[in-house]
């Protein structure tokens, strides 16, 4: 667990965010659960990203990495997809890694049987809940969706499974129709928890309090989960908004992988909770970046180099003015350069690099590293000029060796 000062939760020895985040006026309507859980969907929804395939051994290895990180729940897959998926789920259950292991199934008795056979104790049961998706994509009536859900959830409960009722496209449903389905299944079927699903990422964060309040009134004693896709780049923000509204379980994936634009990224949600809201969910944060690297290598998926938290280059400083800051604060006040220390997530520390935007402060830093000295500012300006020429020639950063070659020629 991270040490968070109750007097200054925005500023610790590892992060420095805005004090305005903790003003009473800012937080007056927030009702965070005391037991927030991460439900990782990488092995199921994550693998729905086009072209992404994990074999059994890779799924087991990822589950082990997630367990080491401290993820609370792992959705190990959907047995009906393939014999390989079923075998992976069985093996993950057998390993007894620590997190709760969940399978995923359609609201069909046969799917539930497959989950039972895999040895899981928990199942996510999906059903479409927007009238238009039922009509056009499934060719179902609302009544059929309800009947199917009642039968499957009862059957799962009778077979000893904990049931999460997963309401596909619920965010685009008519609210009265949606609540009718939810209340009926809760009353006549069974649900141990309800997952609100923003299948197409169409919610905005400000709609969350209304939606959560409405659902809470409909099923007041049922724990809630939130499952959001990232079509508008707000999957993690919506997830955090839902947690602030009292939702208990965040469905997330590693590096935001998943169907279409992916799912909410656990990295974003976990770090936002810790440093922007003062909520430690108990993860081993220093394993965040190593897991992202491992996942990139295993999956072959690219990640924007400047992507927050897990981007490879977020620690790099090129601009001259920030290099000057670096010179002044190095070893004294490193949080003047970033909102948190990169070591918090296991990422390499801040470093100055050489490129087109570099200036005299960068020259000073690298001359010092190389044990070289300029006789005056004119020599430094000449080095800067030639650095920029080289950067334009390469259309990329310079190596230390290239800098040294330039510097030695200028210094004679």
pLDDT confidence of 315, banded at 50, 70, 90? very high
Give residue 248's pLDDT: 97
Do residues 225 and 248 touch, judged by C-beta distance below 8 A?
yes
**Predicted pLDDT of residue 229:** 98
DSSP letters spanning 199-235: TTS---GGGHHHHHHHHHHHSTTS-EEEEEB-TTS-H
Tell me what the pLDDT averaged over the chain comes to. 96
pLDDT tens-digit series, residues 204-262: 999 999 999 999 999 999 999 999 999 999 999 999 999 999 999 999 999 999 999 99
Rounded mean pLDDT of 2-24? 92
The pLDDT assigned to 172 comes to 97
Q: 31-283: what CATH class?
A: alpha beta
pTM of structure: 0.95
Q: Report pLDDT digits (tens) over 118-154.
A: 999 999 999 999 999 999 999 999 999 999 999 999 9
Q: Spell out the domain ranges in the chain.
A: 31-283, 316-411
Q: How far is CA 197 from CA 219, 237, 317, 393, 407, in A?
A: 16, 15, 39, 50, 58
Contact 359, 327 (CB under 8 A): no
Residue 2's pLDDT band (cuts 50, 70, 90): confident
């Amino acid at each position: 667990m991270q040490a968070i000062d109750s007097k200054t939760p925005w500023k610790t020895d590892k992060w420095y965010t805005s004090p305005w985040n903790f003003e009473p006026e800012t937080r007056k309507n927030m009702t965070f659960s005391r037991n927030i859980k991460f439900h990782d969907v990488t092995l199921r929804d994550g693998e729905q990203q086009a072209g992404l395939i994990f074999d059994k051994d890779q799924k087991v290895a990822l589950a082990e990495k997630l367990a080491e990180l401290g993820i609370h729940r792992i959705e190990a897959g959907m047995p009906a997809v393939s014999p390989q998926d079923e075998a992976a789920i069985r093996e993950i259950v057998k390993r007894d890694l620590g997190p709760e292991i969940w399978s995923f199934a359609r609201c069909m008795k046969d799917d539930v049987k497959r989950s039972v056979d895999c040895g899981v104790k928990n199942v996510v049961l999906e059903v479409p809940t927007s009238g238009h998706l039922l009509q056009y994509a499934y060719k179902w009536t609302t009544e059929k969706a309800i009947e199917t859900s009642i039968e499957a959830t009862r059957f799962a409960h009778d077979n000893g499974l904990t049931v999460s009722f997963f309401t596909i496209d619920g965010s685009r449903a008519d609210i009265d129709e949606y609540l009718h389905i939810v209340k009926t299944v809760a009353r006549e079927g069974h649900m141990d928890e309800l997952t609100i699903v923003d299948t197409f990422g169409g919610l905005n964060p400000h709609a969350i309090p209304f939606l959560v309040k409405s659902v809470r009134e409909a099923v007041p004693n049922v724990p809630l989960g939130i499952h959001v896709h990232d079509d508008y780049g707000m999957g993690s923000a919506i997830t955090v908004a839902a947690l602030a509204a009292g939702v208990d379980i965040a469905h997330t994936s590693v590096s935001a992988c998943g169907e279409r634009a992916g799912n909410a990224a656990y990295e974003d949600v976990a770090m936002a909770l810790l440093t922007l809201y003062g909520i430690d969910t108990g993860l081993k944060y220093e394993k965040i970046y190593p897991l992202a690297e491992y996942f990139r290598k295993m999956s072959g998926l690219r990640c924007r180099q400047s992507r927050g938290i897990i981007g490879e280059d977020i620690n790099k400083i090129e601009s001259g003015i920030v290099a000057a800051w670096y010179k002044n604060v190095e070893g004294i006040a490193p949080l003047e350069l970033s909102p948190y220390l990169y070591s918090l997530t296991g990422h390499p520390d801040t470093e100055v690099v050489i490129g087109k935007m570099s200036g005299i402060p960068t020259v000073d830093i690298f001359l010092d590293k190389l044990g070289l000295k300029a006789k005056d500012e004119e020599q430094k300006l000449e080095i800067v000029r030639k650095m920029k020429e080289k950067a334009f020639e390469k259309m990329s950063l310079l190596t230390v060796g290239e800098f040294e070659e330039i510097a030695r020629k200028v210094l004679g």
